[in-house]
């Protein structure tokens, strides 16, 4: 029985929807992305259903990060890519299309042209310092 019967990834964990599973443990599940950005593109998800990083329990987040490290190492050892990106999207404005928290492992090769970057240009350092002060207050009181 899926944790959330309307959630695609809960249904994949439950076995209701087929996938190419590569790893699972008590708290996490990993499988190949159906629309790979590159050869070896994999997804790691917590068994716990949570829409974004904000709703996910710290324990499930930690377990998912550890599984992502295992998957990334297996991808590195098996496919020997030039590099690997970990990607995680929250809300449609950030590119999220499936609303069950997940980490992408995306193998990269030199010159593959995948657009995950942004142009390097200096920020307004006064604005950056002001924002850092606000965040320090939020994080540390």
C-alpha to C-alpha distance for 37 and 76, rounded to whole angstroms: 16
Q: Is the dihedral of CA 40, 37, 42, 68 positive or negative?
A: positive
Binding mask 78-97 for ligand 5GP (x = CB under 6 A): -----------x-----xxx
C-alpha to C-alpha distance for 21 and 2, rounded to whole angstroms: 16
Specify whether 102 is catalytic. Answer: yes
List the catalytic residue out of 41, 49, 102, 104: 102
Tokens 């020997």 locate to: 80
Q: Which residues of this chain interact with ligand 5GP, rule CB under 6 A?
A: 8, 17, 19, 31-35, 43, 89, 95-98
- The residues carrying an active-site annotation are 102
Q: Which residues of this chain interact with Zn ion, rule CB under 5 A?
A: 4, 7, 9-10, 49, 100
């Amino acid at each position: 029985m899926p944790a959330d019967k309307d959630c695609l990834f809960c249904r994949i964990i439950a076995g209701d929807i087929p996938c190419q599973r590569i790893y699972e443990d008590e708290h996490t599940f990993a499988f190949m992305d159906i629309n790979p950005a590159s050869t070896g593109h994999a997804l790691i998800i917590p068994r716990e259903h949570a829409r974004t990083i904000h709703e996910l329990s710290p324990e499930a987040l930690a377990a998912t990060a550890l599984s992502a490290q295992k998957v990334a190492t297996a991808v590195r050892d098996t496919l020997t890519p030039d590099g690997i990106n970990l990607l995680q999207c929250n809300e449609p404005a950030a590119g999220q299309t499936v609303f069950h928290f997940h980490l992408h492992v995306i193998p990269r090769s030199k010159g593959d042209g995948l657009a995950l970057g942004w142009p390097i240009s200096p920020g307004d350092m006064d604005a950056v310092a002001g924002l850092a002060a606000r965040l320090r207050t939020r994080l540390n009181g």
